[in-house]
Structure 1
Amino acid sequence: MNVKKRKKNRMAGLILALLLIAIGAAWYAATVVFPIGYLDAVGKYSEEYGVDRVLILAVIHAESGFDPEAVSAADARGLMQINGSTGIFIAGKLGIEGYTQDKLYDPETSIRMGTWYLSYLGRLFSTERTALAAYNAGPGRVREWIASDDYGDGENLLQIPYAETRDYVEKIELRKKIYRLLYFWKL
């Protein structure tokens, strides 16, 4: 074999190796780092409440990492990390009989309630970004920010004053992009 042919074969081998590494990294990211669990419930409530399923997956990933038993320092529970007073509010709106906060450990219940709440906040506020800020900080606080000359214009949230909430919204937006990229063929 001549030198030119060997170089060509080495280059082809290197390209193949890099391609296999890229495919392996994408598979790892898709299945381990960014899973898509509970897709039946996500799809069902996405359709029922008119919420983008990629948004639901991004919220679940950010809130609980797909751990249905997750509990936050503020005692928010389940996949979508719903707290006590918000859970009672949502259960009342959905007519859930015998609601207790422990029901949030059930993935179907958590996804149903969290998706309804995202839909509710989406109707309450003018942008998804503002609705996500309200999911994190609460709608009352977001209304105060909107009314403030420093953060809003009376109708829209122009700036998120709390770093935690600002980071949360950015985290969800990034996860949405990642999920769309990794699962473009499935979602």
Structure 2
Amino acid sequence: AGIPDLTLDKLYDPAVNIPLGAQLWASLLRELRYPEMALAAYNGGVGNVQRWKNKWPDAPDELELFVADIGFVETKRYVMEVFRARAAYESLVNSN
């Protein structure tokens, strides 16, 4: 598997980047089970999420606490913004 002759420049090509990003997202979601954790790993790295996750072993009951305790400000903002956008999108879709 993989992309033949993958170069850094090819990562800027949406035809390459989008399938790779989707594949990574699916892998993270399978591994971590919860979208909040998968998003944090996508942005901040799996190793960091594993460390943060150890503080909140009772997921999904503590996912809000997990997000609030994410150790990187940028990653915490990223996760929160994706969920805000998701809620806005769902609101639009469900308003019909």
Tell me which interval the TM-score lies in, with the shorter structure as reference length: 0.7 to 0.9
Q: Which one of 71, 77, 85 corresponds to residue 167 of structure 1?
A: 77
Instruction: Give the match for residue 129 of structure 1.
Output: 36
Identity %: 35
Q: 1:99 to 1:127 in 2, by over 3 A?
A: same
Q: How many residues align?
A: 88
Q: Which runs of 5+ in 2 are unaligned?
A: none
Asked if residue 145 in structure 1 is aligned to residue 48 in structure 2, the reply is no
Give, in whole Å, the separation in 1 of the partners of 2:86 and 2:59: 25
Contiguous gaps of at least 5 residues in structure 1: 1-93
Structure with the bigger percentage of helix: 2
> 1:179: how far off?
2.8
Q: Deviations over 1:9-41 (max 9, x none)?
A: xxxxxxxxxxxxxxxxxxxxxxxxxxxxxxxxx
TM-score (norm 2): 0.77
Deviating beyond 4 angstroms after TM superposition, the runs of 4 or more aligned structure 1 residues are 154-157
| 1:177 CA displacement | 2.1
Could you tell me the TM-score, scaled by structure 1's length?
0.42
CA distance in 1, matches of 2:42, 2:88: 20
Determine which structure has more spread, i.e. the larger CA radius of gyration.
1
* Corresponding letter in the other structure for 1:160: I
Matched, 1:98 2:5: yes
